[in-house]
Amino acid sequence: MGPARTRKAARRKAIYLVGEGTGETVRTIARAALAQFSSRDIEIKSFYMIEEEQQIQQIIKDAAKDNALVAFTIVQPHLRDCLIREAERGRVKAIDVIGDFIIHLSMFLGEKPLGIPGRQHLLDEDYFRRIEAINFAVKHDDGKEPEGLRDADIVIVGLSRTGKTPLSTYLAHQGWKVANVPLHPQMEAPKELFEINQGRIFGLIISVESLVKLREARLKQVGLPLNAKYADPVKVAEEIDWCIQYYRAHPRWHIIDVSNRAIEEIAAAILKELKR
User: What's 31's domain CATH number?
Assistant: 3.40.50.2300
Whether residue 204 sits in one domain with residue 114: no
Whether residue 148 sits in one domain with residue 42: no
Q: Which domain holds residue 197?
A: 125-275
- The enclosing domain of 182 has a CATH number of 3.40.50
Whether residue 133 sits in one domain with residue 39: no
pLDDT at 78: 86
Whether residue 23 sits in one domain with residue 55: yes
pLDDT at 117: 54
pLDDT at 174: 87
Answer whether 152's CB lies under 8 Å from 143's CB.
no
pLDDT at 28: 81
Report the number of distinct structural domains present in the chain. 2
List, for the chain, all residue ranges whose pLDDT scores fall below the cut of 70: 1-11, 38-39, 99-109, 111-125, 127
Q: Which of 121, 145, 163 is the last residue of a domain?
A: 121
Answer whether 261's CB lies under 8 Å from 205's CB.
no
pLDDT at 258: 96
pLDDT at 177: 95
Label residues 174-201 b or e (16+ Cβ within 10 Å = b): ebbbbbbbbbeeeeebeebbeebeeebb
Is 83 buried (19+), middle (13-18) or exposed (0-12) by CB count in 10 A?
A: buried
Q: Which of 71, 99, 121 is the last residue of a domain?
A: 121
Whether residue 108 sits in one domain with residue 235: no
Whether residue 131 sits in one domain with residue 33: no
Answer whether 75's CB lies under 8 Å from 26's CB.
no
Whether residue 203 sits in one domain with residue 84: no
pLDDT in tens, 158-212: 999 999 999 999 999 888 999 999 999 999 999 999 999 999 999 999 999 999 9
238, HSE (Cβ side, Cα atoms, 13 Å): 10
Where helices occur in 12-163 by DSSP H, the ranges are 24-34, 53-66, 77-89, 99-109, 125-139
Strand 13-19: give its sheet, edge to edge.
42-47, 13-19, 69-73, 94-96
Whether residue 40 sits in one domain with residue 9: yes
pLDDT at 113: 61
For 67, phi then psi, to 5°, come to 55, 45
pLDDT at 160: 95
Whether residue 195 sits in one domain with residue 264: yes
Is 133 buried (19+), middle (13-18) or exposed (0-12) by CB count in 10 A?
A: buried
d(CA 97, CA 122): 19
Whether residue 226 sits in one domain with residue 147: yes
Whether residue 70 sits in one domain with residue 16: yes
Q: Which of 72, 99, 121 is the last residue of a domain?
A: 121
Whether residue 135 sits in one domain with residue 53: no
Pick the closest to residue 183 from 204, 166, 211, 152 (CA basis).
204
